[in-house]
Amino acid sequence: MTTLIRKYPIGAFLFINYVISWSFLYPSYQLIKQSDEIPPLAFIGLIGAYGPSIAAVIVQAVVEKKKLKPLLKRLIQFRSQWRLLLFVIVVPLLLYIIAYLISALINNGDLEIHLLMGVSNIHFWFLAALPFGPMGEELGWRGFLLPRLLEKYSVIKSTVFVGLAWGIWHLASFSLPGAAIPSFLPVSFWTIALFCLNTIALSMVYTYVHFSSKGSVFFAILLHAFFNAASNIVFDFFNETEDFTILFMSYGLNIVLAGMVGYLLLRKSQKSV
């Protein structure tokens, strides 16, 4: 087993990651679906949510144990980069605000601005998003997998690979409406493909932050949390709508904007090196 992990660290990471995550997340989601309230046993899903990080630690310990400590240190790698911190907070919100505004204006949606409620709830949605995807995943995706891929492939190829692997990782989550694919969309081949396109587009921004922060997992976690919280924060600012066309268009536009912005930032950062 250890020989296979050393020979195929990327494949081993994905295999261990998926097995751990799906083994705990899928039964957890089924328990939630069968109950009116979240049953205590459903919290086993938290183990699955940390599958990417657990897999990263296991594979790194087998492949090159002396680099495990530096990998874990990147969880707290923060060097007073205030401009980058502002980018990580503002950009996810700004992208979704622009996407939502364009969609609402095109479709004649009502725009009620609730500035006080929007601002006052930012910390709540951020903290609600933080313990699950962001803290459980980023040591694996941007801490372990992305640097490994960058040793062999181009920045864009590595980014697309991580984005696709990240999207596929949510397979168990597709069994619970709203857990990954937005609740206003049905689960189908096309919505799963759209979701994976979303994770690829977002990965462009993540890779830019990875380079800008010199591989900090801390900044990746913050970025992940604000992307996850963005739609809820924006709905607080503009009053949540049930108009399918507005919701679907804003979701699609956010994918396009994230992909374009991330790609352009990556190209610019690579030219400046």
Q: What angle do CA 179, 184, 188 make, to 5 degrees?
A: 75
The tokens describing 191, both together, are 């919505």
The tokens describing 24, both together, are 């705990």
Confidence (pTM): 0.94
Nearest to 225 by CA among 137, 158, 101: 137
CB 33 within 8 A of CB 176: yes
Q: What is the mean pLDDT of residues 173-193?
A: 93
pLDDT at 40 over 90: no
pLDDT at 236 over 90: no
pLDDT at 102 over 70: yes
Condensed to tens digits (0 to 9), the pLDDT of residues 110-163 reads: 777 777 777 788 888 888 888 878 999 999 999 999 999 999 999 999 999 999
Residue environment code for 112-137, b if the CB has 16+ CB neighbours within 10 A, otherwise e = eeeeeebeebbeebbeebbebbbbbb
Condensed to tens digits (0 to 9), the pLDDT of residues 195-207 reads: 999 999 999 999 9
CB 139 within 8 A of CB 145: no
98 falls in which pLDDT band (50, 70, 90)?
A: very high
Looking at the chain, the whole-number percentage of residues with pLDDT higher than 70 is 99
Residues 6+ apart with CB under 8 A from 271: none
Could you give the 3-state DSSP secondary structure of residue 102?
A: helix
pLDDT at 72 over 80: yes
Residue environment code for 39-65, b if the CB has 16+ CB neighbours within 10 A, otherwise e = eeebeebebbbbbbbbbbbbbbebbee
How far is residue 220's CA from residue 147's CA, in Å, rounded to a whole number?
13
Residue-range domain boundaries for the chain: 74-272
Residue 272 confidence (pLDDT): 55
